[in-house]
Structure 1
Amino acid sequence: MTDGQITLTGIRAHANHGVLASERELGQTFSVDVSLDVDMDTVCDDLTHAVNYALVAQRVLDVLMGEPVNLIETLAGRIADAVLAISPRISSVQVTVHKPHAPVGVALDDVAVTCRKDAE
């Protein structure tokens, strides 16, 4: 086995996360980046011996579009937990949730929260 990394960037969905009633009602576009540290088999060319990143992307999307939360910190943690549960080959995950239209009262390009979790 080889230590490796899989990165998926820009998984997007319209979702209703946020503290304000308007965020819950109208929603907004969120974007998620995930980076997985994995035990990678670079010899066997068989998907059953790899982390299926299509499954990772779908799991991220499922959480992103799932039950609304107040804080993107909570959302990042839920996504990390869901990704870690996919395969024992995943030793850790880093999740960044982007909320470019966060209502913070000043002009900005993006608000992002990043969390990192290790498999237990």
Structure 2
Amino acid sequence: MKSKIILENIQIHANHGVLLEEALIGNNYIVNAEFHADLEKASESDNLNDTINYAELNDIIHQEMAIRSELLEHVIGRIISKIEKAFPQITFIKIRLTKTVPPMRGEMSGVSLEFEKEII
């Protein structure tokens, strides 16, 4: 059975970016994450030990977002790496990280980076 856990529109304030202002003032970010794993056992057992605790996934995302980086690519890479190590039953990870007010000209809803990793 293919199962997905999806964390949608996690809003976090963090201090990522190349510019000094971004380090000092910070910015608002939105994180969307998708994880694939076989969760059929949990669908039958109703036992938290047979699934992936999405609160723990959320905690990892918040922990990694709290560590300042210049590049959003680096933040996403750390999130994927930590989740991959913590939950070996996950077979696919997709993280989208959106900076809602990027320091660029023009009106926009944000700039996003999205990484996907299939884990064999």
- Decide: shared fold, TM above 0.5: yes
Q: Which moved more, 1:79-88 or 1:106-115?
A: 79-88
Partner of 1:52: 53
Find the aligned partners of 1:56 and 1:112 in 2 and give their Cα distance. 20
Written as runs of structure 1 = structure 2, the 5 A alignment for 1:78-97 is 78-97=78-97
User: What are the superposed Cα offsets for residues 30-89 of structure 1, whole Å, 9 maximum, x if unpaired?
Assistant: 1111000111122121000100000000110100112x1111111111111122222122
TM-score (norm 2): 0.92
Question: How far 1:118 moved relative to its partner?
Answer: 2.6
Higher relative helix content: 2
Report the 3-state secondary structure (helix = DSSP H, G, I; strand = E; otherwise coil) of the residue aligned with 2:101. coil
Q: Is the 8 A contact 1:95 1:116 kept in 2?
A: yes
Find the aligned partners of 1:65 and 1:31 in 2 and give their Cα distance. 13
Find the aligned partners of 1:72 and 1:57 in 2 and give their Cα distance. 18
Partner of 1:17: 16
Partner of 1:113: 113
Find the aligned partners of 2:8 and 2:91 in 1 and give their Cα distance. 19
Partner of 2:26: 27
Partner of 2:65: 64
Question: In the alignment, does 2:40 pair up with 1:36?
Answer: no
Percent identity reads: 25
Report the 3-state secondary structure (helix = DSSP H, G, I; strand = E; otherwise coil) of the residue aligned with 1:23. helix
Find the aligned partners of 1:86 and 1:58 in 2 and give their Cα distance. 12
Alignment length (residue pairs): 118
Give unmatched runs, 5+ long, in structure 2: none
Find the aligned partners of 2:76 and 2:58 in 1 and give their Cα distance. 14
Q: Is the 8 A contact 1:92 1:116 kept in 2?
A: yes
Give unmatched runs, 5+ long, in structure 1: none
